[in-house]
């Protein structure tokens, strides 16, 4: 069973909002691309794990800490007296390992993901010990992009390639054991220890004034050019109320400190929709508080 489903990644949501509205520099663009790819791989692995019988406890996307060191876990599976630790990689193309060094398809040196996995396992083992469990941990680096190949000097049992994914599940499914209360307690403990980090410091710097304003086509993320909300690029037609409401949601997440005022939302929508239309949506879904210059809307 999936005990802790993968949450939507707030950093990625915010970057998706920012991307059409500002220019990312090359490292910001690369980070955005890597996050998108990584998330795609993680979602794919969640679908894959649905092939497991119900006798397993699965927790995804955990950020834990032991003795001041934080460690991120993509997928953790609790089994009988054992924990499987999976690090999901959605790498694409031909990678090579030479003398323990990893090179990407462009021949550029990468961080060795096995070292990262070892670090994670070591810290998890210590944390488990502290919590009073003596389980063994089996760690795997799971590559689930069919377009991935690794030129590797020798077989490494900790690596699961796309063609081995089904066999790995079969192997697990051959020895299901009913888990009792103690295992669910451990899952609760992990869940309670998950650290929530604010993604805002990691975002490219931006201000309300500097971001491009307007309503975006939900399909291709191009700005609509007039109030008919028919996309000139892909032909998609958007409903006015839905478009304004989505814009307010973006505004609230991008500017958690700012008040929701009629004028700001009208500006944020790029003046594409009339002030009357903006006011109608705000009045319908939000509550007006304050008077005159201090008037603003809050969520109901």
Shorter beta-carbon distance to Zn ion: residue 35 or 236 = 236
Alpha helices for 146-271 (secondary structure H): 165-173, 181-193, 240-254, 262-268
- The first and second tokens of residue 104, run together, are 């990407």
Shorter beta-carbon distance to Zn ion: residue 63 or 237 = 237
CB of 233 to Zn ion, least distance (A): 5
Q: Which of 240, 264, 238 is nearest to 251 (CA)?
A: 264
Q: How far apart are CA 59 and CA 113, in angstroms?
A: 21
CB of 224 to Zn ion, least distance (A): 8
- The first and second tokens of residue 275, run together, are 């002030």
Shorter beta-carbon distance to Zn ion: residue 80 or 236 = 236
CB of 225 to Zn ion, least distance (A): 11
Shorter beta-carbon distance to Zn ion: residue 9 or 221 = 221
Contacting residues toward Zn ion, per CB under 5 A: 217, 219-220, 222, 231, 233-234, 236
Q: How far apart are CA 86 and CA 90, in angstroms?
A: 13
Question: What's the burial of 252, exposed, middle or buried (CB within 10 Å: 0-12/13-18/19+)?
Answer: middle
The one-character DSSP state at 214 is S
Shorter beta-carbon distance to Zn ion: residue 109 or 234 = 234
- The first and second tokens of residue 214, run together, are 């307007």
- The first and second tokens of residue 201, run together, are 């410091």
Residues 6+ apart with CB under 8 A from 111: 102
Shorter beta-carbon distance to Zn ion: residue 64 or 231 = 231
CB of 216 to Zn ion, least distance (A): 8
């Amino acid at each position: 069973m999936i005990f802790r489903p993968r949450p939507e990644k707030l950093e990625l949501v915010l970057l998706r909002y920012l991307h059409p509205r500002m220019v990312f520099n090359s490292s910001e663009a690369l980070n955005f691309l890597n996050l998108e790819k990584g998330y795609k791989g993680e979602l794919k692995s969640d679908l894959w794990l649905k092939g497991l019988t119900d006798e397993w406890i699965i927790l995804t996307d955990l950020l834990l800490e032991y003795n001041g060191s934080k460690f991120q876990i993509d997928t953790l599976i609790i089994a009988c007296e054992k924990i499987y630790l999976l690090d999901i990689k959605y790498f694409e193309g031909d990678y090579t390992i030479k003398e323990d060094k990893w090179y990407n398809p462009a021949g550029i040196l990468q961080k060795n993901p096995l070292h990262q996995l070892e670090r994670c396992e070591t810290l998890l083992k210590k944390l488990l010990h502290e919590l009073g469990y003596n389980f063994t941990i089996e760690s795997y680096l799971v590559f689930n992009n069919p377009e991935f190949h690794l030129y590797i000097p020798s077989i490494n049992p900790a690596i699961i390639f796309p063609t081995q994914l089904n066999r790995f599940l079969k192997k697990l499914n051959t020895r299901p054991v009913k888990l009792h209360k103690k295992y669910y307690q451990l899952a609760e403990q992990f869940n309670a220890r998950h650290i929530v980090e604010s993604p805002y410091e990691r975002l490219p710097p931006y201000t309300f004034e500097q971001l491009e304003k307007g309503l975006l086509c939900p399909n291709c993320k191009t700005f609509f050019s007039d109030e008919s909300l028919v996309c000139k690029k892909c032909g998609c037609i958007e409903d006015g109320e839905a478009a304004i409401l989505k814009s307010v949601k973006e505004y609230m997440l991008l500017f958690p400190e700012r008040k929701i005022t009629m004028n700001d939302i009208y500006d944020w929508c790029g003046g594409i929709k009339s002030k009357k239309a903006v006011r109608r949506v705000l009045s319908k879904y939000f509550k007006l508080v304050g008077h005159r210059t201090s008037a603003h809307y809050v969520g109901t």
